[in-house]
Amino acid sequence: MWQPDRLSNQPLYQQIADDFERRISYGEFPPGTQLPSERKLAEQLGVNRSTVILAYAELRALGIIESRTGSGTRVSQYKWGVTPKHTPNWHRYVEGGTFLPNLPFLRRIREALQQNSGLIDFASGELGADLSPAKEIGALIAENPYIEYLGYDNPQGFVPLRETLVSYLSKYRDIQTTGSSILITSGSQQSLYLITQCLLTPGDAVAIEDPSYCYSLPMFQSAGLRLFRLPVDRKGVHPDDVRALYKKHRIKMVFLNPNYQNPTGVVLDEKRRAELLDVASELGLPIVEDDPFSLTAYDGNPPPPLKSIDSVGSVLYIGSFSKMAASGLRVGWMVAPHSVVERLADARQQMDFGLSVVPQKVAAEFLGSAYFQPHLERLRMQLLFKRDLLIEALEKELPNLVSFAVPQGGLHLWCKIIPEVNDHKLLEEAIRRGVIFAPGSVYGSDSGYVRFTFARAKAEDIVTGIAKFAAALRAVLD
């Protein structure tokens, strides 16, 4: 975001007025756009409210904006002359569309992180810069910077990456497959999006875990799906619940994250895995298995995926580079029957014409390189270290106020706040004190749960962050 230059000779209010005039003239804020309130803009720019009042007065004097009591400040409708010309009612367009906006909590979190880069971040579900193999990837790029062909890629994805994944899946996930059964996607998010858009029809019932990161994805509602819940206990979801939901609602698909589930960290029990596959094959019911965290298993021994014991072909398997290496590469994959891969690849062509070859080349080289295994080992050690820092801090700062199970893999700790607490108030108070987290209700749970991502924050900030969180919690409970 633009910020005034405090070293300039030009007064701050004049800089702000000039910036708005420029942006309005460029069309960033078309006529009729509501501008931020004086208070909010002052906060965003880190200036006094009086400075913003002066800036807005300047713009009003120029006829560029109009303020009316009760309805705030807007860009003037008729600044371009006497003929009434109409800007499209962008507001109405923005409210339209079949695609639902993100949850308010998630938008609030994103906004807070954009406004204050100093926040200690337990909310973003990704690896911090310290855990990502940026140097290794840079070294690989430097070794082989040339890309022979920069035209449109194969709709299923870069062939050498698919070939590398065949070995990777066999070696690390015990999945035997072929390059033609793999679709490369822009991370698990796009795999899920393609499945919900292309394989399901509005009105279809699907089952998701409770709690689940799937609740945080309005794409399920945008696709018109009816969501039914499979409670997650210490051993994961129960196969009987799948059968019951099928009988009652004819669910069409089941979405599971069996290893180090997001947000709970739970691992699906081995016996239940076999039973689930039996239920699925009995009912002809597809299971979407999202498996982003397995390679973070702190002991290096994640349970094999459902897909590896699926003899009937019930499972669509989703993997990704994001949680074990670098979310910013945007490289994920799906293993599915060929007809499904073809259908989804065709649809994806229409959405974005496929993935860039550059990150796919980088991902293929990294997965196939001697850097990959040492990176995983370092990652596991560091995640375990950060997890323990978090747990120690919680036990020290909030004894008797929180309870949690200790995750054995993944990036998150799922934490129950024992006394009754208002999620919204707690989040705002935490942000005010310099720390941010993901409220449990984002994942469909009741109020009073928190997902702490310990992978993102720097190790040295975890203790401070939890101290701030504890202070916020006590302030809200008082």
Q: Closer to a second copy by CB, 270 or 352: give it.
A: 352
Shortest distance in whole angstroms from residue 283 CB to a second copy? 7
Shortest distance in whole angstroms from residue 427 CB to a second copy? 19
Shortest distance in whole angstroms from residue 154 CB to a second copy? 8
Shortest distance in whole angstroms from residue 336 CB to a second copy? 8
Shortest distance in whole angstroms from residue 92 CB to a second copy? 9
Find where tokens 């082989």 sit: 144
Q: Closer to a second copy by CB, 103 or 467: give it.
A: 103
Shortest distance in whole angstroms from residue 30 CB to a second copy? 3
Q: Closer to a second copy by CB, 134 or 405: give it.
A: 134
Q: Closer to a second copy by CB, 104 or 419: give it.
A: 104
Q: Closer to a second copy by CB, 90 or 271: give it.
A: 90
Q: Closer to a second copy by CB, 334 or 473: give it.
A: 334
CA atoms of 446 and 407, how far apart (whole Å): 21
Q: Closer to a second copy by CB, 182 or 268: give it.
A: 182
Residue 284 corresponds to which amino acid?
Answer: G
Q: How many residues does the chain have?
A: 478
User: Do 178 and 324 form a contact (C-beta atoms < 8 A)?
Assistant: no
Shortest distance in whole angstroms from residue 234 CB to a second copy? 29
